[in-house]
C-alpha cells in the first residue's frame, strides 16, 4: 500500500460563523484538524469613526464612541471626554467623578460577564451564558436608570455626566456588590473547577510577557502573562488613586490564566465599587462650568489613555482651534490584541479556535471602528 495522500484544506471561519461573534473572518488552512496557517480578515464592520469625528463637534462624537466596544460604552465615553477635558483643561466636579467611576466599573463587570458567558458557550457549555446574562441584567438595569440606555449609554459629557444619579440609585449599587460576590462563587463552582474545562484551556495559547509587550497587548491579555500593568494603578486617571484594589496577574500566560485574571478582575471591580459607594459625596455638581460651544486651543495635541475592559484605550486629538477635532485617533485595544491570534493559533487544532479566540476577548465594533 502506498502512502496515504492527504491534502490541506482551506476553510473560511466566518464572517458568518457562530463562534466569531460578529463579522470576523478567519481564513484557516487545515491539515486534518490541525491549523497550519491562519489569516484574520477584518473590516466588515468598518464605519470610519475616526474620519466621521472630524466633522462632528466634541459633544457629538460621544455617541459614536458608544458603538466602538458596545459592551463597555461607558468606558469608551470616558476615554473621549477625558481627552477633551485634558485638551481644554476642564476640572470635573467630584460627584461627577464618583458617578463616572461607578458606572465604569459596573460596565466593566458587564463586559467581562458577556465575555465569560459567550466564551463558555463556544466551549459547548450553554448554562454559563444564561447565568451571566441574569446578573448582567441587574447592571444594565442600573445603567439604564441613570443614563436612559441599556447598551449605548451616551452618558458622559465633557466636564461631567449628563444626568445625576436618581434617588436610591447608589443604594442599589451598594446592594449589588454583596449579591454579585456570591454569584462569582457560583460561577467558580459551575465552571472553574470543571475537569473538562480545565483540560481544554490549561497550557493553551501560551505566550510570555515579552511577546505580549512586543505585540502591544494590554489588559488581561498582558496581565495573564504575569506582567503587572493596569493604567488605573500605573497611570491613575479620574479618582482611581483614591481606591485600594489589586492587579491580578497570571503565571504561565495560557488561556486558563487569562480566564482567572478576568474572573479576579470582577472581584476587584466590586472592591472599587464598594469603596466608591461608601465615600460617595452626598451633594455636589455633576457638570463643570463649560462654554456652550467647546473649542479646542489652536495647534494643540493631546493623547490620553485609560484602562478599558479589553486593555489600554487611548485617544489622540489634534485640535486647530475649531469646535471639531482636526484629527481623532483611537488606540483600540481589541484591534491591537487581535494581532497575536495567528501566532498562537498556528499548529493547534480546530477545536482550539473557540477558547484561544475567546480568551483574547475582542469586540468587532472596536476592532473595525
Partner 1 sequence: MFGILDQQFSWLNFTILALAAVALLLVVLLFVMYAIYFERKVIGWMQLRKGPNRTGPWGLFQTVADVLKLLIKEDVVPKKVDRFLFLIAPIISFTPSFMVIAAIPFTENLYFTDINVGLLYYGAISSLSITGILLGGWASNNKYSIMGGMRSVAQMISYEVPLIMSFLGIVLMTGSLNLRDIVHAQIDSGIWFIFPQFIGFVVFLIAGNAELNRTPFDLPEAENELVAGYFVEYSGFRFAFFMLTEYVYTFALSSLMVTLFLGGWDAPFGLTFIPPIVWFALKFLLLVFYLFWARATFPRVKIQQLMEFAWKGLIPVALFNVMLTAVLKTLGIF
User: For partner 1, which stretch binds (CB under 8 A), given 44-52, 144-152, 252-260, 343-351?
Assistant: 343-351
Q: Using CB under 8 A, which of 125, 177, 206, 239 touches partner 1?
A: 125
| E-state strands within 219-368 | 300-307, 312-319, 327-331
Quick one: 24 or 197, whose CB is closer to partner 1? 197
Interface of this chain with partner 1, residues 31 to 60, rule: CB under 8 A: 33
Nearer to partner 1, 101 or 362 (CB): 362
Closer residue to partner 1 in complex, CB, 19/65: 19
DSSP 291: -
Cell triple for 223: 496581565
In the β-sheet with 327-331, what is the strand arrangement from edge to edge?
Answer: 300-307, 312-319, 327-331
* Contact status: 27 vs partner 1 (CB under 8 A): no
254 makes contact with partner 1 (CB under 8 A): no
Q: With respect to partner 1, which residue has the nearer C-beta, 151 or 196? A: 196
Of the two residues 18 and 297, which places its CB atom closer to partner 1 in the complex? 18
Give the containing element (helix H, strand E) for 260.
helix 255-278
**Is 121 among the residues that bind partner 1 (CB under 8 A)?**
yes
Backbone torsions φ then ψ of 41, nearest 5 degrees: -120, 120
- Which of 190, 239, 247, 288 binds partner 1 (CB under 8 A)? It is 190
Q: One symbol per residue from 128 to 147: x for binding partner 1 (CB under 8 A), - otherwise; what is it?
A: --xx--x-------------
Supply the minimum distance, in Å, between the C-beta of residue 284 and partner 1.
Answer: 39
Work out which of 58, 180, 197, 243 binds partner 1, going by CB under 8 A. Answer: 197
Q: Convert residues 344-363 into a mask of x (bound to partner 1 by CB under 8 A) and - (unbound).
A: -----xxxxxx---------
| Cβ atoms of residues 50 and 329 within 8 Å | yes
Cβ count near 81 (within 10 Å):
27
Which of these segments, 67-75, 139-147, 195-203, 359-367, binds partner 1 (CB under 8 A)? 195-203
> For the chain, what percentages of helix, strand and coil (3-state, to nearest 5) are there?
50, 15, 40
CB 268 within 8 A of CB 281: no
Q: How far apart are alpha carbons 286 and 27 in whole angstroms?
A: 49
Record the cell numbers describing residue 159, joined without a space: 466636564
* Cis preceding linkage at 15, omega within 30: yes
Cα separation, 110 vs 97, whole angstroms:
20
Residue 141 or residue 301: which is nearer to partner 1 going by CB? 141
Binding residues (CB under 8 A) for partner 1: these are: 9, 11, 17-19, 33, 120-127, 130-131, 134, 190-191, 194, 196-197, 199-200, 349-354
Amino acid at each position: 500500500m502506498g502512502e496515504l495522500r492527504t491534502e490541506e484544506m482551506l476553510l473560511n471561519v466566518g464572517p458568518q460563523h457562530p463562534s466569531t461573534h460578529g463579522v470576523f473572518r478567519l481564513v484557516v488552512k487545515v491539515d486534518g484538524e490541525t491549523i497550519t496557517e491562519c489569516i484574520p480578515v477584518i473590516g466588515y464592520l468598518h464605519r470610519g469613526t475616526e474620519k466621521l469625528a472630524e466633522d462632528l463637534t466634541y459633544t457629538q462624537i460621544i455617541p459614536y464612541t458608544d458603538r466602538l466596544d458596545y459592551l463597555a460604552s461607558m468606558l469608551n465615553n470616558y476615554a473621549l471626554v477625558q481627552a477633551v477635558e485634558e485638551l481644554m483643561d476642564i476640572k470635573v466636579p467630584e460627584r461627577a467623578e464618583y458617578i463616572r467611576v461607578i458606572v465604569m466599573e459596573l460596565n466593566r463587570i458587564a463586559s467581562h460577564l458577556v465575555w465569560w458567558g459567550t466564551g463558555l458557550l463556544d466551549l459547548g457549555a450553554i448554562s454559563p451564558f444564561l447565568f451571566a446574562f441574569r446578573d448582567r441584567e441587574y447592571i444594565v438595569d442600573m445603567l439604564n436608570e441613570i443614563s436612559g440606555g441599556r447598551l449605548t449609554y451616551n452618558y458622559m459629557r465633557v466636564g461631567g455626566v449628563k444626568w445625576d444619579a436618581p434617588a436610591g440609585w447608589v443604594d442599589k449599587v451598594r446592594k449589588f456588590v454583596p449579591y454579585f460576590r456570591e454569584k462569582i462563587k457560583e460561577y467558580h463552582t459551575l465552571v472553574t473547577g470543571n475537569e473538562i474545562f480545565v483540560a481544554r484551556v490549561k497550557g493553551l495559547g501560551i505566550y510570555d510577557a515579552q511577546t505580549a509587550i512586543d505585540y502591544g497587548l494590554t489588559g488581561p491579555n498582558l496581565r495573564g502573562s504575569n506582567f503587572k500593568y493596569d493604567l488605573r494603578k500605573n497611570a491613575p486617571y479620574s479618582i482611581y488613586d483614591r481606591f485600594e484594589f489589586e492587579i491580578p496577574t497570571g503565571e504561565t500566560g495560557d488561556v486558563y490564566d487569562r480566564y482567572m485574571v478576568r474572573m479576579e478582575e470582577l472581584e476587584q471591580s466590586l472592591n472599587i465599587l464598594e469603596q466608591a459607594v461608601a465615600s460617595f459625596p452626598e451633594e455636589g455638581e455633576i457638570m463643570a462650568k463649560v462654554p456652550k460651544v467647546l473649542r479646542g486651543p489652536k495647534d494643540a495635541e493631546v493623547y490620553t489613555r485609560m484602562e478599558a475592559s479589553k486593555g489600554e484605550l487611548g485617544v489622540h486629538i489634534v485640535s486647530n482651534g475649531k469646535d471639531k477635532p482636526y484629527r481623532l485617533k483611537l488606540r483600540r485595544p481589541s484591534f491591537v490584541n487581535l494581532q497575536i491570534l495567528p501566532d498562537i493559533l498556528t499548529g493547534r487544532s480546530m477545536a482550539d479556535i473557540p477558547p484561544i479566540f475567546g480568551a483574547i476577548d475582542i469586540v468587532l465594533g472596536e476592532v473595525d471602528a
